[in-house]
Structures are given as structure tokens and as C-alpha cells.
Amino acid sequence: MKVGEMVNFIIDGKKVEAEEGATVLQVARANNIPIPTLCCHESVSPTGSCRMCVVEVKKGKRTRIVTSCLYPVDEGIVVDTNSERVKNVRKLVMQLLMARCPESDVLQDMAKELGIEKQPAFHPETDKGKCVLCRLCVKACEDVVGVSAIGLVARGKKKAVGTPFAEDSMVCIGCGACAYICPTEHIVMESFGTRRKIWGRTFKMQACDKCGRYFAPVDQLKFISQKTGTPMTELATCISCK
């Protein structure tokens, strides 16, 4: 099959056509078929970390559970996004996530949508905050911003997202991309007038030369200036005033 060809398959009893290379999740969204996700964002490549987007795929005589954000569509497959097997897997994954982050409002709301009203049977942890290790923040910092100020540290139960050696990162530019993309609001960014605080550092904000509104960290603008060659004087104007 050549790249760019169309494939035909069935999803939730509906015959659909999609371009080869598209994922099951992309096709489902294009056809208004809801699939829950936590670690998938259009700005970064998918990782399948959270496992909430699992679906059941039948290909030939074989039927298996796959992550829809990574599984590419194929000719003749049959996809079920809401089978009993899928529901059971999602409930188990959600219970594990809720045990890891019992105070997450996002997980509580998603659990209700999945029909999980009671607290999970697993022993809840109290030291993980709201981080589900989806890696969206890490990928945004590395792939989109190009800074790599944060990453996954430690192993096993101690694995967490943080700065190298848990020290203030000198390469962080305070852009807030990690806080914006975090699906559970685990990463906290505080902005107060002339300052912004994130990852233990406080950044000076740049005031717009025209309206005087503080709109971006100075370190972020310096980073953009160095990467693009744009003078700081041209970057000192907010989007609204350009």
C-alpha cells in the first residue's frame, strides 16, 4: 500500500475511510466518537503513557486491546471503542491513577464519566500531588520550546517530573508551556504583576512598550531573540499592540 492511500475499516459499527498513517484516535475524533485521554495533545507526538484511550481492535482472527493514540488504522480492521473489555481496562487504569493522585479534580470528574463513583481499592498515595506521569510537560519543553528544563527523574515508585537534581533550573525561561499543557493542573505557575514563579524560580516580566501590560518573562523573550535573531526591542510589544 502506498503512502497517502485511503483505508476502509469499521469503528463502532460505522464504515469509515481514513488516510493511511492516521491513528485510531484521530479518526475517532474526526467522526465525533469520544475516547477519553489524558496524555494526548495536538502540540506533541503521542506517547500512550496514560492508557486511558484504549480500544479493542479486531484484525483477521485476532482481537486485542491497543492504545488508540498510537495504533495506525489499517484496511479491514474492526474497532470497538466502548466494549465491555475496553470499559474494564479503562476503569482499572482510572483506579490506579486515582490511587496515585486521589486529590485530582480532573481524575475525579473523568472517573464519574466512566461510572466509577467509589474510591479505588488500591491504597492511595499522598506524595505524588496531581502528576500522572503523562510526560506532556516534558515533551512540550523539549520538542516545542526546545529548552529541556524538566524531565523524568528517579525510577519506580519514586519516578517524578522535575528539574535536574531537584535544583532550580538555570535553563528554564518561565514560558509556562508545561503548566499550560498539564492535564491535571499539577504544575503550578503563579503570576503577580512584575513577576512570575514556576519550578522554584521567580522570573521578571516584560512590560509592553505601548500599553504597559506585563505579558512575558524577560528570559523567554531573550531566548526567542537568540534563536531567531529578532532584536529585543521588537519583542517588547505584546500581541494586542502589534
Answer whether residue 216 shows pLDDT above 50. Answer: yes
2 has pLDDT over 60: no
| Residue 213 pLDDT exceeds 80 | yes
Mean pLDDT (the chain) is 93
Q: Which residues are CB-contacts of 208 (< 8 A; sequence separation ≥ 6)? A: 214, 215, 236, 237, 238, 240, 241
1-128 is classed CATH 3.30.365.10? no
pLDDT digits (tens, 9 = 90+) for 187-212: 999 999 899 999 989 999 999 999 99
The model carries a pTM of 0.88
**How many Cα neighbours within 13 Å face the side chain of 185?**
6
pLDDT at residue number 164: 87
Q: What is the pLDDT of residues 136-155, one digit of tens each?
A: 999 999 999 999 999 999 88
pLDDT tens string 58-117? 999 999 999 999 999 999 999 999 999 999 999 999 999 999 999 899 999 999 988 877
What does the angle CA 64 – CA 68 – CA 73 come to, to the nearest 5 degrees?
A: 85
Instruction: Give the pLDDT of residue 119.
Output: 63
Q: What is the pLDDT of residue 1?
A: 40
Say which CATH topology domain 136-241 has: Alpha-Beta Plaits (3.30.70)
> What percent of the chain is predicted at pLDDT more than 70?
97
For residues 37-42, average pLDDT: 94
Q: Where are the domains of the chain?
A: 1-128, 136-241
Q: What is the DSSP code (8-state) at residue 124? A: P
